[in-house]
Amino acid sequence: MSTHPLSDEHREAFWRRAGWDPLLPDAEREAIERRWDDESIDLAEIFGF
């Protein structure tokens, strides 16, 4: 796993694959952002998500 934080671009690209969109209501966007932190994104990508 990465020891460096993800770039904003990398994080947003992953969130978009998980259903995130800037036009979603705030609560829905924030739920995706909380669910998919950098460590979770790293693990998901290791397993091919």
Give pTM, 2 decimals: 0.86
Q: Is the dihedral of CA 36, 38, 42, 45 positive or negative?
A: positive
The tens place of each residue's pLDDT in the chain, 49 residues long, gives 666 799 999 999 999 999 999 999 999 999 999 999 999 999 999 999 9
- Residue 12: the pLDDT is 98
CA pair distance 3, 26, nearest whole angstrom: 29
Contact (CB, 8 A) for 33 and 20: yes
Res 4: pLDDT = 74
How high is the pLDDT of residue 40?
97
Please give the Cα distance from 42 to 49 (Å, whole number): 10
